[in-house]
Structure 1
Amino acid sequence: MRESESESRSAGRWQSPRLLAAFRLTRSIAFQWLVVAVVGFFAFAYCGVRLAAALQGQQLERIAVPAVPPETAVLWGGLAFVILALVVGLHECFHGVAMARYGSDPSYGIGVSYFVLPYAYTEVERARYTRAQMLVILLAPAAGITVLGLALVALVPELSAVALVALAANGAGSIGDLWMAGVLLQYPAGVRVDALPNSTVQGFGVYGPPDESTARRPASEVLSRIAAGAIATLALFGAVVIVLALASLAVGSGTVELGPVAGRWFLFRHEVDATGTAWIEIGEWPVLGLAVAGGLLWAGFGAVRARFRNC
């Protein structure tokens, strides 16, 4: 009897939920996700190579990426496309299984947001999830496919290259999921996630009961600004490096290298001739330092802007 009364009171508190925040997938956000996903693919691949070497108990070897003939590039591109298609299908299956676990009946499809961001999706007609449930739904593909990929790397070293490409593709495809999870983590555990009222745009709303304080946590807002600034800095920096590297490979001006050179680890190195002369050398720690600096600057800018807005 007491349990029934408690459930009734709990249900009553949610009769008229209060919309705390609304997320809409605008053209600007779609473009940002696309840029971060492209750069993220190479970042995840890089981390995967390092982790694979650790799992297999091997010293990380120097990796050289020379310019290749067009027919070889087409072959590699076709293989990458097949791997990508398989990963996308598995990714959405993980979303669907998590939704079904919470009583939903998911459907699947593909689309393009604003002619910018191609995507596959898993959706339900109408469902309200707790914050914990939505986090599981969002993070299930990233966690599940990562575990499967790393297990394949450790148990079947011959398939490491395929597994690492799949892991990098899944990481890039999880950018939106990770971003939305970061948004949700800024709110208390008691909030709910549901569709936006009277909206034809993709997105979701964060709701709370009208009689309870469910405000966004101040500390999480600062951390989110730092994270956003750091990611944006890495994305911009990575995009420039990728364009330069691809341009170099296209014209055959040198070899792009990853790995230890002269006892030091380089995140990226462009060697222009056989003597070892490098046009660009980028180390891990300078890149991390640049990301932290970008995050702190963006957080500081946001704080100053908020102060002037409140004046």
Structure 2
Amino acid sequence: MSEAAIVIEHVARRFGALEAVRGATLTVERGEIFGLVGPDGAGKTTLMRMLAGVLRPDSGRITLEGIDVAADPERAKTALGYMPQRFGLYEDLTVDENAFFYGELFDVPRAEYRERVTRLLGAAGLAAFGRRLAGQLSGGMKQKLGLVCALIHTPKVLLLDEPTTGVDPVSRRDFWALLYQLREQGVTIVMSTAYMDEAQRCSRLALLHAGEVRECATPAALKRRLPGALLAIAGSDPRAIRDALADAPGVQGTLLMGDRVHVRVDDGGLRGPELEARLAERALAHAPFETVEPGIEDVFVALVGGAA
């Protein structure tokens, strides 16, 4: 049997004149946490909705656990759990009532339901909140309840569309702890994210831009593909530093990172002194340059083009 949980072959989807996804081809192996990374409008949500069978592709084919999603979406739904950006919790129902509703929706046998929901609510830290209305939960707790509901029928594949957007850092950490537990249990996870620190936790990443898959590899492999060297410069006016260096010879891209500027150059040893001189000419105070390891955000900007 193939180790692929999901196979996406030349998939495209158009909305009028907008080509939201163009010729996407990807394979997701069983037990992976696979990340879709890209800016707003890159096609992440459209691709996720096609994986879930909510949208039909205009062309191409998606198979999930050997099931053709477009040809047999109802059968595919039994193998997957889908948590969209705005998960459909019922805020006037309690935690227990929401979980029960999704158990009934997926025909979970009553004899198995209680054990499953007790285990899932316990793992999510929600066991003590069964009688609380979903509308009274914090953002992070709502997301964890959404995950419980998406898992109530023990899917083999879990699809998460930016599940931690707007969630506080502690809740994000707890959410990721749950994802790691699921991976250990053999669940395949596909998630889209706008957080680059989360992207680095994925087994592999697909970088999407303007509806196309530009790159697909492990985070470490993507970092190795970054051309040239990466210099970090800290100063009191990082925007002015970025603007001063953006068009300097040998500079291939710049990116603001808090109070620092990441500058991608063709040759760190050669360009470092030149950039120092340029900043001195403009009287821009800064700390000494450092050569740093690129992050996923640096790689994304370099590979898809543009500066930020």
Instruction: Work out whether the TM-score is over 0.5.
Output: no
TM-score (norm 2): 0.26
TM-score (norm 1): 0.25
**Comparing both structures, which one devotes a greater share of its residues to strand?**
2
Q: Which has the higher contact order (CA 8 A, sep 6+)?
A: 1
